[in-house]
């Protein structure tokens, strides 16, 4: 017989109590409870440090709102978007709620960890995860899936300062494959207009991240733009990849969009051709290039879905930054002069 646990953000409980209440396992970081229509996620940022990564934790809010990052299942070898990781990617499609807990010290007199309930989450529907490089339990570098959680509509998460991403203990520089990092949209249920239950009920129906559809389209457009340009470069015989840059004393990673290794050019893409987006890209490129090998000879460029205004084009010229934009016939501005 199942016991009762009221999932109120801020609740401190144990895995055993959640398992007894909802019928899930107790040992894995991702525990589906199919009968209850839920997936429980247990995050422990300190555990990741043992293997050399510090991805878990609340990241800085971005233009789309609060964001919590969580490293997927799989201690050795490349992580795959299937099995337990797949249960997160299909949660919305199967109308399953995602509930996030973080480790909260040990149970007195026991080796078991207490768990603090953060709240109900939803994967970012446009970019549900990033692919990062990290050593596994065997010490070998591999690809890991870093899931991107947003608070579910109607949820006020109970996170604290202690839940922020840990700061990196050392600076690192890794080569990554941009093809693996392009957005893979979450499949939403057909009844995407279903009403959301009131907050005090601590549950929602068919939850998706509360990001306006227009902004989701921008994220998707940016990913599609990078993929199309990478294919364009490959057809021209160019080798491309990207980088994962970790800075000692800072949380998170810097992840440029695309690097043309053949021509030693770094590209930053934006899904909208506006002055504010171009200005953001200029700042990002200025930050990234400082950490790229042979930075003094590195060229940088902004990649856009269409031509910006003449004044924005002049701004890029004045900053000695290249401009490449997409048209029906291909890409204007490439190759760089």
pLDDT of residue 211: 62
Long-range CB contacts (< 8 A, 24+ apart) of 25-31?
28/73, 28/84, 29/70, 29/72, 29/73, 29/84, 30/72, 30/73, 30/84, 30/85, 30/87, 30/88
Q: What is the pLDDT of residue 204?
A: 40
Cα–Cα dist 74/78, whole Å? 8
pLDDT for the residue 284: 97
Mean pLDDT by 10 residues, the chain (337 residues): 85 96 94 96 82 80 90 92 95 94 91 94 90 88 94 93 89 79 55 34 46 69 91 96 93 93 97 96 97 93 98 98 97 96
Q: Write the DSSP assignment of 2-22 as a string of letters.
A: -------TT-EEEHHHHHHHH
Strands 265-269 and 299-304 come out as parallel
Q: Go through the domains of the chain in sequence order and give each one's CATH number.
A: 12-167+183-211 (2.30.280), 219-332 (3.40.1350.10)
State residue 127's pLDDT score. 84
Written as one string, the DSSP assignment of 209-273 is ----HHHHHHHHHHHHHHHHHHHHHHHTT--EEEEEEE-TTSSS-B--SEEETTTTEEEEE-SS-
User: What is residue 59's three-state secondary structure?
Assistant: coil
Give the pairing type, strands 97-106 and 38-43.
parallel
**Half-sphere exposure (CA, 13 Å, Cβ side) for 165?**
27
């Amino acid at each position: 017989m199942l016991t009762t646990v009221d999932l109120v953000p801020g609740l401190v409980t144990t895995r055993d109590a959640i398992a007894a209440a909802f019928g899930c396992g107790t040992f894995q970081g991702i525990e589906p409870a199919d009968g209850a229509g839920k997936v429980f996620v247990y995050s422990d940022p300190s555990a990741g440090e043992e293997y050399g990564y510090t991805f878990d934790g609340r990241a800085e809010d971005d233009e789309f709102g609060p964001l919590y990052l969580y490293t997927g299942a799989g201690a050795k070898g490349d992580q795959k978007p299937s099995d337990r990781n797949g249960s997160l990617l299909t949660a919305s499609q199967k109308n399953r709620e995602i509930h996030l807990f973080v480790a909260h010290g040990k149970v007195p007199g026991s080796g078991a960890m207490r768990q603090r309930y953060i709240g109900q989450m939803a994967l970012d529907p446009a970019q549900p995860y990033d692919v990062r490089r990290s050593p596994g339990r065997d010490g070998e570098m591999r690809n890991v899936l870093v899931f991107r959680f947003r608070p579910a509509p109607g949820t006020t998460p109970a996170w604290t300062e202690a839940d922020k991403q840990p700061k990196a203990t050392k600076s690192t520089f890794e080569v990554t494959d941009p093809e693996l990092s392009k957005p893979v949209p979450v499949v939403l249920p057909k009844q995407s207009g279903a009403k959301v239950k009131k907050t005090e009920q601590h549950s929602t129906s068919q939850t998706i991240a509360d990001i306006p559809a227009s902004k989701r389209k921008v994220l998707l457009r940016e990913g599609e733009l990078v993929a199309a340009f990478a294919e364009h470069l490959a057809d021209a015989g160019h080798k491309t990849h990207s980088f994962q840059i970790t800075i000692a004393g800072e949380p998170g990673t810097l992840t440029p969009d695309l690097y043309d290794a053949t021509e030693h050019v770094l590209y930053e893409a934006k899904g909208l051709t506006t002055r504010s987006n171009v200005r953001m890209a200029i700042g990002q490129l200025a930050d990234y290039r400082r950490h790229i090998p042979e930075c003094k000879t590195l060229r940088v460029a902004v990649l856009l879905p269409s031509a910006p205004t003449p004044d924005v084009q002049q701004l890029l010229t004045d900053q000695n930054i290249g401009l490449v934009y997409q048209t029906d016939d291909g890409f204007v501005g490439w190759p760089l002069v």
